[in-house]
Amino acid sequence: MSTSIKNGSRKNINDRPHIFYDGYWIRYYAPPLETLSAKRDLLVMLTRRTFHHTEPGINTPGHKVESARLSFISEQDPAKKRVNAAMLAGALFNRATDIFTSIVDLESKGIAVNQDNNLMLECSACFEEALELGKQVRHPSGHEGVDELWGEPFKVFTHSIANYYDSRYVKISQTMRAIDDVAQRIVDTFESVPCFQATGGTVRDFARAARVETELMKSDPDFFKNWPEFVTLKEKIKAFEPEPQQGLSALARLQLQKGARLLGEGADLISYMAGVRVPMPKSKRYFLQSLEQFDLDCQGVGLRSGITPP
């Protein structure tokens, strides 16, 4: 059915406006009018959101770009240099937002600032460099870089607000697909392990709540309904402890403990993707590989239904 629906199609679902992209109906929010002040407000909001979802210590003030750059250039240790790169990216990010805020203030006083103005050129240069250095920035969990999230303010600066909103829906649909992929692989892996079979329904419910979390703006009143469900379902998954069957070997019992940790890691990954609204492909790939290895190990110790250990 979804193949006949064009991207960008809109309809109400449960009296809420939705828009269709790549297989998913996503909560629709009309973009604000295209004004410099609206673009500034969006940039400020995205700046706060980006630093909220990235590693601590990199929200460097914009006036410290030169100090951050000197530290980055002089650092020789590769691990430390990555952190310095992230700190410099943060400073450039903040400087670009500071400059754009000043431009809007000038415009409000009747002083026009065209695209060729030095302020605008400097703002663009800061965003571009921050975008490149942003590849070194990590998620607070230590997972892969989230440069797709880091690039959103630059996208707002270089495109119309309406175009940014369209790109947001594309990214949300990709994230929803990644969430569903991870959740289904978790269910497929654990459903044949008797001690974990009861988790399937909770994982599916959590994936549904995660998809809603991905599409909702925090200003939406429905957020107060979905967030508690999202949080409590995750807590339920992470608190799950399998009860070993009678006669299990010591290796099998260790494997059950590993499975509980892996289940919690899956819940964390889904929540990370929902929070940053990007599919985090590298983290997803590593986690799915861990599930495959866990499945093989379960077969080896006789934890799979109907399988006798060698």
Single-letter residue type at 111: I
Is there a single domain that holds both residue 259 and residue 235?
yes
Considering only 19-28, 101-110, 145-154, 219-228, which range has the smallest mean pLDDT?
Answer: 145-154
With vertex at residue 262, the alpha carbon angle to CA 256 and CA 266, rounded to the nearest 5 degrees, is 145
Is there a single domain that holds both residue 103 and residue 78?
yes
Write down the mean pLDDT value for the chain: 90
Q: Is residue 20 part of a domain?
A: no
Is there a single domain that holds both residue 227 and residue 251?
yes
How many other C-beta atoms are found inside a 10 Å radius of the C-beta of residue 141?
14
pTM as predicted: 0.87
Is there a single domain that holds both residue 147 and residue 49?
yes
Q: Would you state the pLDDT for residue 3?
A: 58
pLDDT at 310 over 60: no
**pLDDT of 3-23, one tens digit each?**
589 999 999 999 999 999 999
Q: Is residue 120 part of a domain?
A: yes
Q: Are 161 and 124 in contact (CB under 8 A)?
A: no
Average pLDDT of the segment spanning 280-285: 91
Is there a single domain that holds both residue 142 and residue 200?
no
Number of H helices, E strands in the chain: 11, 3
42, 148, 161, 170, 176 from 31: Cα distances, Å: 10, 20, 7, 15, 21
Total domains present in the chain? 2
Is there a single domain that holds both residue 40 and residue 74?
yes
Average pLDDT of the segment spanning 73-102: 95
Q: Would you state the pLDDT for residue 308?
A: 40
Please name the residues in contact with 121: beta carbons below 8 A apart, sequence gap of 6 or more: none
CA-based max dimension of the chain:
81
Q: Is residue 139 part of a domain?
A: yes
Q: Would you state the pLDDT for residue 307?
A: 45
Q: Is residue 191 part of a domain?
A: yes
Q: Would you state the pLDDT for residue 244?
A: 81
Considering only 13-22, 57-66, 93-102, 240-249, which range has the smallest mean pLDDT?
Answer: 240-249
Considering only 42-56, 165-179, 230-244, which range has the smallest mean pLDDT?
Answer: 42-56
Q: Is residue 276 part of a domain?
A: yes
Q: Is residue 272 part of a domain?
A: yes
pLDDT at 221 over 60: yes
Given 158, 190, 209, the domain boundary residue is 158
Alpha carbon distance 285, 182 (integer Å):
9
Residue position matching structure tokens 């400020």? 44
Q: Would you state the pLDDT for residue 201?
A: 95
**pLDDT of 142-169, one tens digit each?**
777 677 777 888 888 888 999 999 999 9
Range of the domain at 111: 36-158
Q: Would you state the pLDDT for residue 166?
A: 93
